[in-house]
């Protein structure tokens, strides 16, 4: 399905049922975390502002990426898109001192994906 088909489908859905899921934006930056297609379908699509919990142990960009992974778990996501997100999260964990051999387990713990899925999507290092 092309991007334009997705956007048109979102327009139809919103016109028929209203906005089901808000666009997620960073509270301090107003940057779109999740919902770019919804915003393209209708620039006035409702938004929900999110902020990083004060006790979250990683940087803001890690939180927002993790939030996006969870928000999109409910829909079909290509293996490549899943892999890209998991690789970005793995890289951030590695830069925060996680041992390489423990990263897949940590990702299975903090994402909705099973250890098997994580291991299939990450390189064998």
Residue-wise pLDDT for 103-122, tens only, equals 999 999 999 999 999 999 99
Residues 45 and 62 in one domain: no
Number of structural domains (the chain) is: 2
Phi and psi at residue 59, in whole multiples of 5°? -65, 165
**Is the pLDDT confidence value at 125 over 70?**
no
Residues 123 and 75 in one domain: yes
Residues 25 and 61 in one domain: no
Residues 101 and 119 in one domain: yes
pLDDT of residue 41: 96
Half-sphere exposure of 22 (CA within 13 A, CB side): 8
Residues 10 and 46 in one domain: yes
Residues 77 and 56 in one domain: yes
pLDDT of residue 87: 94
Residues 41 and 56 in one domain: no
pLDDT of residue 3: 85
Residues 73 and 15 in one domain: no
Residues 80 and 121 in one domain: yes
Residues 66 and 105 in one domain: yes
pLDDT of residue 75: 78
Tell me which residue has tokens 């327009």. Answer: 11
| pLDDT tens by residue, 27-73 | 988 899 999 999 999 999 999 999 999 999 888 889 999 999 998 88
């Amino acid at each position: 399905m092309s991007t334009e088909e997705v956007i048109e489908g979102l327009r139809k859905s919103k016109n028929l049922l209203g906005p089901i899921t808000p666009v997620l934006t960073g509270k301090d930056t107003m940057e779109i975390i999740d919902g770019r297609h919804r915003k393209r379908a209708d620039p006035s699509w409702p938004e929900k502002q999110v902020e990083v919990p004060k006790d979250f142990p990683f940087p803001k960009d890690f939180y927002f990426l993790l939030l996006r992974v969870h928000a999109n778990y409910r829909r079909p996501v290509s293996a490549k898109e899943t892999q890209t997100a998991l690789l970005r999260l793995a890289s951030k964990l590695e830069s925060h001192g996680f041992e390489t051999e423990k990263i897949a387990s940590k990702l299975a713990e903090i994402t909705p994906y099973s250890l098997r899925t994580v291991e299939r999507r990450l390189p064998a290092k």
